[in-house]
């Protein structure tokens, strides 16, 4: 038993399968010996808990809940209730002998035995019927053997008098002397033993019912948790399978797109290389011609006289001018950069699999709620933008009707645009935002005017029940159709600017990424230099004592060299000062 005291307990499922006896310790697996009750209401033998306390706390071996222990023993208090059950169980396992006929009753026949609490002796069934039915035993209290009253529970240990009362205030039994010694106020809380027993049984039944309800709830919770654990396991398996499947499909799509992009890169490489080689061949053939004519000019100038120069010089000058005016391709016709837009291609490749929305989106059209009623466009994040919905106005283009919703509300976009324009940077996008705001404000004012007219007509129709001319509604519908055409045209104009801005944004992103990389590298280099300097200081501190000791030894052995060595000591002191300054 001692070897298994500090062995860890198994899980709750293992304890449940073991079907532990309520009077058997869970650590030593033997009947309780001086059972102790922890704050978590788990019981263990005193010997099993001895030595486990630390700093006045004892952690439960079963659930890990800490319990406060007091006293020098380092053990929690003894559980008197469990000790009573253990003692009762031990008594019931012994053979009982009838006090009248000396008949021994085996353990299986204990239910047929009785006990006289007045005589304090056990009786078998025949002796109870024959002897204790006489008139002289009429006042004797005869109960079943299992309900016998022990001596310790019969008399008061202080006055050696039988218990007759029970104090509901102190929860203790009283003898006649204890009752007399009590104050008058406390006597009001005293009742007889029978009444106290009946009330106690009722309260115990209520407590048992509450514990049974808790037990039922606990079992239901256990079943639920086990089911949830199984669901978690199944969900994890399904999630893993989905991840593997999606990853496989992503790999296939990326592999196919990779092959396509590599082919495109190879094609661009071949085309650019061919064009550059053709231009190079042309320039290579042009260079000898230029050299020949330069040599010709130099020779002509050195050998021709004035008459020969005037006769042939203008012809040479015309030839040189014609050579210069020929269409020579001196500059590269295209850039050397190969751009496959692989990031955008990979993103487009993964969009169907990941159900990603485009990075830049516009407001989509929503269905109308009713004539003249303001509908609601739900935006991501729970925001909504109220706009007037006219059901008879079809969308101007499929592109606008199928595009996803905007990610930010209009007010946030308006403020961000104001901040951008206030910075004063004259960029193409800033100019575009300025033009957009002017056009958008004009369109918004037109839409607001139509909305006010429809709301006023709706109010007259529902509240005042007044007639509305059909010409007014036709005029409003016609204006709405015109506004729809203008909005579609403006949308198309803004959409056409996407490719221009995407090139600028891509360059900006690359520049920012390079700057971030350079910045991080700078910090890393500074930290590395600091670490090297720290190591140098540490090594210097370690060797300084050795330098001093060696210098002193040499001074003693070679007195003549004392004067030349003074500068070295000054150098050592300077080195120490430098080390101290570096540490500071």
Residue 55, helix vs strand vs coil = coil
C-alpha separations of 458 from 451, 464, 475 in Å: 10, 10, 15
76: CATH: 3.30.40.10
State how far Cα 573 lies from the chain centre: 56
Mean pLDDT of 168-193: 84
For residue 376, the model assigns a pLDDT of 36
Q: In the block, which residue shows the tokens 């002017």?
A: 438
CB 1 within 8 A of CB 24: no
Q: Mean pLDDT lowest for which of 181-195, 215-229, 245-259, 559-573?
A: 559-573
206 & 87 share domain: no
* Residue whose C-alpha is closest to residue 25's, from 86, 75, 87: 86
Whether 52 shows a pLDDT value over 50: the answer reads yes
73 & 210 share domain: no
Residue 96 lies in a domain: no
Residue 485 lies in a domain: no
C-alpha separations of 559 from 499, 526, 552, 556, 565 in Å: 87, 47, 10, 6, 10
The confidence band for 180, taking pLDDT boundaries of 50, 70 and 90, is confident
Residue 364 lies in a domain: no
Residue 161 lies in a domain: no
For residue 187, the model assigns a pLDDT of 81
Kindly report the pTM of this predicted structure.
0.37
Q: Mean pLDDT lowest for which of 14-23, 245-254, 417-426?
A: 14-23
Residue 297, helix vs strand vs coil = helix
For residue 467, the model assigns a pLDDT of 57
216 & 86 share domain: no
Whether 240 shows a pLDDT value over 90: the answer reads yes
The mean pLDDT of the chain is: 75
Domain count, the chain: 2
Whether 510 shows a pLDDT value over 60: the answer reads yes
Mean pLDDT of 552-578: 61
Percent of the chain with pLDDT over 70: 73
Q: Where are the alpha helices (DSSP H) in 425-469?
A: 428-459
| Interval 279-310: pLDDT, tens | 888 888 888 888 888 888 888 888 888 888 88
CB 132 within 8 A of CB 158: no
Residue 480 lies in a domain: no
Residue 369 lies in a domain: no
For residue 367, the model assigns a pLDDT of 37
Q: Mean pLDDT lowest for which of 231-235, 440-444, 546-550?
A: 546-550
The confidence band for 569, taking pLDDT boundaries of 50, 70 and 90, is low
Q: Mean pLDDT lowest for which of 320-324, 354-358, 468-472, 491-495?
A: 354-358
86 & 218 share domain: no
210 & 331 share domain: yes
| Among 64, 91, 118, residue at a domain's last position | 91
Residue 311 lies in a domain: yes
Residue 362 lies in a domain: no
| Among 299, 318, 353, residue at a domain's last position | 353
Whether 47 shows a pLDDT value over 60: the answer reads yes
For residue 261, the model assigns a pLDDT of 92
For residue 241, the model assigns a pLDDT of 93
Higher pLDDT, 496 or 6: 496
Whether 575 shows a pLDDT value over 70: the answer reads no
Containing structural domain, residue 270: 202-353
| Among 309, 328, 353, residue at a domain's last position | 353
| Interval 393-435: pLDDT, tens | 344 444 444 444 444 446 666 667 777 777 777 788 888 888 8
For residue 405, the model assigns a pLDDT of 41
- Helix (H), strand (E) at residue 570: helix 562-583
For residue 469, the model assigns a pLDDT of 63
* Residue whose C-alpha is closest to residue 140's, from 113, 114, 116: 116
The confidence band for 574, taking pLDDT boundaries of 50, 70 and 90, is low
Crossing angle of helices 470-496/428-459, nearest 10°? 160
Q: Mean pLDDT lowest for which of 186-200, 413-427, 509-523, 560-574?
A: 560-574
């Amino acid at each position: 038993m001692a070897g298994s005291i500090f062995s860890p307990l198994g899980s709750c499922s293992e304890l449940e399968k073991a079907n532990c006896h309520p009077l058997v310790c869970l650590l030593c697996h033997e009947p309780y010996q001086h059972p102790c009750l922890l704050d978590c209401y788990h019981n263990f033998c005193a010997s099993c808990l001895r030595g486990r306390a630390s700093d006045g706390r004892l952690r439960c071996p079963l659930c890990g809940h800490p319990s406060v222990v007091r006293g020098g023993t380092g053990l929690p208090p003894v559980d008197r209730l469990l000790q009573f059950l253990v003692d009762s169980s031990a008594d019931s396992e012994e053979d009982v002998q009838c006090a009248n006929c000396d008949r021994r009753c085996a353990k299986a026949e204990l239910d047929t035995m009785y006990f006289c609490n007045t005589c304090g002796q056990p009786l078998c069934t025949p002796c109870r019927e024959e002897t204790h039915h006489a008139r002289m035993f009429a006042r004797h209290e005869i109960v079943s053997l299992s309900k016998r009253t022990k001596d310790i529970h019969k008399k008061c240990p202080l006055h050696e008098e039988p218990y007759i009362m029970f104090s509901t205030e102190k929860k203790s039994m009283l003898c006649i002397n204890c009752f007399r010694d009590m104050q008058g106020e406390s006597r009001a809380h005293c009742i007889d033993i029978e009444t106290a027993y009946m009330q106690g049984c009722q309260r115990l039944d209520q407590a048992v019912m509450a514990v049974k309800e808790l037990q039922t709830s606990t079992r239901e919770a256990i079943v639920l948790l086990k089911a949830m654990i199984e669901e978690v396991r199944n969900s994890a398996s399904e999630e893993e399978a989905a991840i593997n499947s999606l990853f496989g499909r992503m790999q296939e799509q990326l592999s196919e797109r990779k092959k396509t992009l590599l082919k495109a890169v190879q094609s661009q490489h071949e085309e650019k290389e061919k064009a550059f080689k053709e231009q190079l061949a042309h320039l290579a053939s042009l260079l000898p011609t230029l050299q020949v004519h330069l040599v010709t000019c130099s020779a002509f100038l050195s050998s021709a006289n004035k008459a020969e120069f005037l006769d042939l010089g203008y012809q040479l000058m015309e030839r040189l001018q014609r050579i210069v005016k020929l269409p020579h391709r001196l500059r590269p016709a295209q850039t050397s950069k190969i751009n496959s837009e692989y990031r955008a291609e990979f993103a487009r490749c993964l969009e169907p699999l990941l159900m990603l929305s485009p990075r830049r989106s516009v407001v989509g059209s929503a269905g109308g709620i009713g004539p003249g009623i303001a509908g609601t466009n739900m935006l991501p994040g729970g925001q909504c933008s109220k706009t007037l919905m006219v059901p008879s106005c079809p969308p101007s283009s499929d592109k606008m009707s199928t595009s996803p919703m905007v990610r930010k509300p209009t007010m946030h976009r308006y403020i961000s645009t104001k901040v951008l324009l206030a910075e004063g940077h004259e960029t193409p996008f800033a100019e575009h935002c300025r033009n957009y705001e002017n056009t958008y404000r004009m369109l918004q004012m037109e839409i607001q005017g139509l909305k006010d007219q429809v709301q006023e007509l709706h109010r007259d129709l529902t509240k005042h029940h007044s007639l509305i001319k059909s010409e007014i509604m036709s005029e409003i519908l016609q204006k709405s159709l015109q506004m729809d055409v203008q909005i579609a045209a403006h949308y198309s104009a803004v959409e056409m600017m996407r490719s221009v801005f995407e090139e600028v944004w891509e360059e900006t992103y690359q520049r920012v990424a390079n700057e971030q990389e350079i910045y991080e590298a700078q910090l890393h280099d500074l930290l590395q230099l600091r670490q090297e300097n720290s190591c140098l200081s540490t090594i210097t501190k370690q060797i300084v004592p050795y330098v001093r000791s060696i210098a002193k030894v040499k001074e003693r052995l070679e007195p003549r060299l004392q004067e030349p060595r003074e500068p070295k000591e000054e150098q050592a002191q300077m080195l120490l000062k430098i080390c101290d300054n570096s540490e500071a």
